[in-house]
């Protein structure tokens, strides 16, 4: 597998790559992750759960970008005869190195596009590098198969000239554990210092503009006029200081708790404590945080964008609201707060949908089937 960033970075793409790699290994597939080693990070970490090659690439800015591509490319070429297929997470600069190496080695390549809409992977590659258009065009033309998380990604790939037969719809997956029990909710709230009887809303994600936390904070301010509630925001990112100031200016700072970046294995504590999950993003690939919330049996209120519509059926497994609409989000939160029976039913339906269609076991099986099909075509 190839991915630009990996542990200790724990964003959605990184977590998805790790849990998929671990599941594939459990099913008998040999997996090794190739990634770039950030400055100050050792080549091996004691908590690595899968084999990882962290490659150091010196240089600055544009030079560093080219060194990253070159380092990955030549490292992959050096594995001739040892690897059968290159699976790349995200169609960004490392994808160019991976696809080109696969071409030279005569083996298949798979690129999983992680974002749709204005931050679509190939668009970001085109805009973010000196030779971005050439690299994105090469990836579009020479990748053996693309894995698409949602319908919008499929459409955007086709605008880049990718034939429909080279696009395979495969979603993200999550580990599905047991549903949250009332006893677990009480214990989690106690550990987090929350009132056992409070109404708790939760949002998990990187604090960056695409998540549109400003709309979320404004909607929560509106809700606080009529209901006693707490908002937990789990995640780190460049907008944290700005969002903390916004909460202060809106007069809701005492009811909004910024937990910061939390290790993936600790997010469950926050899911256990919550009554509703909120996602106000203007664009997503397929939200891991939303999948995890649904698996935990939480009702979700999410922006009405293509990736979220794949998971949420409005009024059945959650609630959709028009992205950026403060009043619509506030009204949805109030509806969930005021109707416990409906809240529980939405959560149960959400969990059932994830268990049936989005478990990491099911997703890994889909990739294994794809691997086998591609290797049949390239075998002797």
Per-residue DSSP letters for 135-167?
A: HHHHHHHH-SEEEESSHHHHHHHHHTT--GGGE
Q: Which residue has the tokens 């944290």?
A: 240
Crossing angle of helices 93-105 and 61-77, rounded to 10° = 30
The predicted model scores a pTM of: 0.83
The candidate with the shortest Cα–Cα distance to 280, out of 250, 344, 235, is: 235
**Chain-centre distance of CA 219, in angstroms?**
24
Residue 275 lies in a domain: yes
Look at residue 378 in the predicted model and tell me its pLDDT: 62
CA atoms within 13 A on the CB side of 194: 30
Residue 289 belongs to a domain with what CATH number? 3.40.50.2000
Do 343 and 369 lie in one domain? The reply is no
Phi, psi for residue 91 in degrees, rounded to 5:
-90, 55
Residue with tokens 């991976």: 98
Residue indicated by tokens 């890994």: 364
User: Is there a single domain that holds both residue 109 and residue 245?
Assistant: no
**Domain shared by 139 and 246, yes or no:** no
Residue 68 pLDDT = 85
Number of domains in the chain: 2
Is 199 in the same domain as 229?
yes
pLDDT of amino acid 117:
87
Q: What is the pLDDT of residue 60?
A: 54
Residues of the chain with confidence (pLDDT) below 50: none
Pull the structure tokens for residue 260. Answer: 């910061």
Question: Could you tell me which of 227, 235, 239 has the C-alpha nearest to residue 200?
Answer: 227
- 64: containing domain: 12-173+360-378
Domain assignment present for residue 4? The answer is no
Same domain for 196 and 65 = no
Closest CA to 121 of 131, 130, 111: 111
Structure tokens, 351: 């969990």
pLDDT of residue 118: 87
Is residue 206 domain-shared with residue 346, that is, in the same domain? yes
* pLDDT at position 190: 94
Dmax (CA) of the chain? 69
- Residue 336, C-beta contacts closer than 8 angstroms, at least 6 positions apart: 275, 276, 299, 301, 319, 342, 343, 346
């Amino acid at each position: 597998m190839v991915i630009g960033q990996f542990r200790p970075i724990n964003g959605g793409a990184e977590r998805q790559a790790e849990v998929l790699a671990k599941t594939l290994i459990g099913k008998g597939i040999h997996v090794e992750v190739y990634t770039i080693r950030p400055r100050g990070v050792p080549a091996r970490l004691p908590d690595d759960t899968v084999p990882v090659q962290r490659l150091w690439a010196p240089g600055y800015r544009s030079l560093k970008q080219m060194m990253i591509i070159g380092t990955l490319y030549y490292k992959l070429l050096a594995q001739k005869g040892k690897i059968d297929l290159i699976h790349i997470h995200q169609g960004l600069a490392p994808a160019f190195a991976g696809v080109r190496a696969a071409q030279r080695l005569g083996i298949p390549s798979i690129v999983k596009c992680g974002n749709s809409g204005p931050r679509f992977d190939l668009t970001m590659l085109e805009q973010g590098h000196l030779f971005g258009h050439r690299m994105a065009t090469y990836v579009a033309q020479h990748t053996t198969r693309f894995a698409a998380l949602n319908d919008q990604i499929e459409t955007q790939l086709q605008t880049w000239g990718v034939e429909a037969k080279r696009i395979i719809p495969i979603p993200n997956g999550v580990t599905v554990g047991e549903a949250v029990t009332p006893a677990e909710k009480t214990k989690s709230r106690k550990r987090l210092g929350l009132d056992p009887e409070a109404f708790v809303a939760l949002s998990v994600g990187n604090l960056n503009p695409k998540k549109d936390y400003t709309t979320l904070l404004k909607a929560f301010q509106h809700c606080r006029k009529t209901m006693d509630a707490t908002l937990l925001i789990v995640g780190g990112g460049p907008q944290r200081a700005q969002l903390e100031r916004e909460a202060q200016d809106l007069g809701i700072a005492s009811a909004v708790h910024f937990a910061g970046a939390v290790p993936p294995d600790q997010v469950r504590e926050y899911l256990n404590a919550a009554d509703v999950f909120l996602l106000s993003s203007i664009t997503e690939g397929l939200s891991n945080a939303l999948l995890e919330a649904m698996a935990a049996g939480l009702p979700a209120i999410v922006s009405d964008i293509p990736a979220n519509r794949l998971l949420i059926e409005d009024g059945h497994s959650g609630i959709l609201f028009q992205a950026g609409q403060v009043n619509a989000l506030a009204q949805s939160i109030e509806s969930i707060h005021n109707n416990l029976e409906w809240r529980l039913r939405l959560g149960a339906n959400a969990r059932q949908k994830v268990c049936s269609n989005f478990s990491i076991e099911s997703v890994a099986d889909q990739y294994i089937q794809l691997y086998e099909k591609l290797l049949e075509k390239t075998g002797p």
